[in-house]
Amino acid sequence: MAVAEKLRFAVPGAGEVSALLLRPADAKWMLALAHGAGAGMSHPFMSALADQLAAVGIATLRYQFPYMEQRRRTPDTPAVATATVAAAAQAAAEVAPGLPLLAGGKSFGGRMTSTAAAEMGLGNVRGIVFLGFPLHPPKRPAIKRGDHLSQVQQPMLFLQGTRDDLADLDLLRPICAKLGNRVTLHVIDGADHSFHVPKKSDKTDAEVLKDLAKATAVWAEISVN
């Protein structure tokens, strides 16, 4: 199994941040992968996901947002977060110039990626992956956080659990339908926002991770030009 390489890259106006590059020998894609609001790039979920993505031919550049790098609790402003996404996409393209580039992330990281795409274009990014898009605060259904998605030009993959209390599927499905063939929605039965499933489920958390990686690889091959 490939070993992650430690890197750093600069974020304009916010200093340098750390990153972890995991590139399998048979990589077909590169994914700039952002963490969620409460845990950094080395969280067990992020590490295990990177391993599973590598197993299906997707290299990853996991990276820190500046607030996480500086061990602050409060997430960066959208301006700093989107600048970080853009810088990470550029860094990923530079370390793997021969691979088509995807970008996305867990929860907050995914939403900041699509915000950057809506505002900046992210022209070198071919597709966007959401691992639990946070459509609204926990148990407070709303759709405002999805307003910017109509401005995103890249194909989008939503990986969502049926027990995700930050994304009521009854609200997310119509948004996805309105966006048309740019969007693929892959639903994990029984998974919560962290992609945990109940012990009584017919899947384990490890199997869910494999499902997330496989769904990403299939989507990339079919939907990303």
Q: What is the pLDDT of residues 12-40, one digit of tens each?
A: 999 999 999 999 999 999 999 999 999 99
Tell me the percentage of the chain whose pLDDT exceeds 90: 96
Q: How remote is the C-alpha of 152 from its chain's centroid?
A: 15
pLDDT for 75 beyond 90: yes
Range name among 100-109, 169-178, 194-203 with the lowest pLDDT average: 194-203
Torsion sign, CA atoms 164, 144, 173, 185: negative
pTM for the predicted model, two decimal places: 0.96
Question: Among residues 103, 99, 159, 91, which one has the least CA distance to residue 128?
Answer: 103
First-to-last alpha carbon distance for the chain, in angstroms, is: 28
Spatial neighbors of 164 by CB under 8 A, at least 6 apart, are 132, 191, 192, 193
Q: Are 127 and 225 in contact (CB under 8 A)?
A: no
Q: Is 5-223 CATH 3.40.630.10?
A: no
CA distance 119 to 113: 10
Tens of pLDDT, residue by residue over 94-138, are: 999 999 999 999 999 999 999 999 999 999 999 999 999 999 999
Q: How remote is the C-alpha of 34 from its chain's centroid?
A: 6
Domain ranges of the chain: 5-223
Identify the three-state secondary structure at position 165.
Answer: coil
CA distance 215 to 75: 29
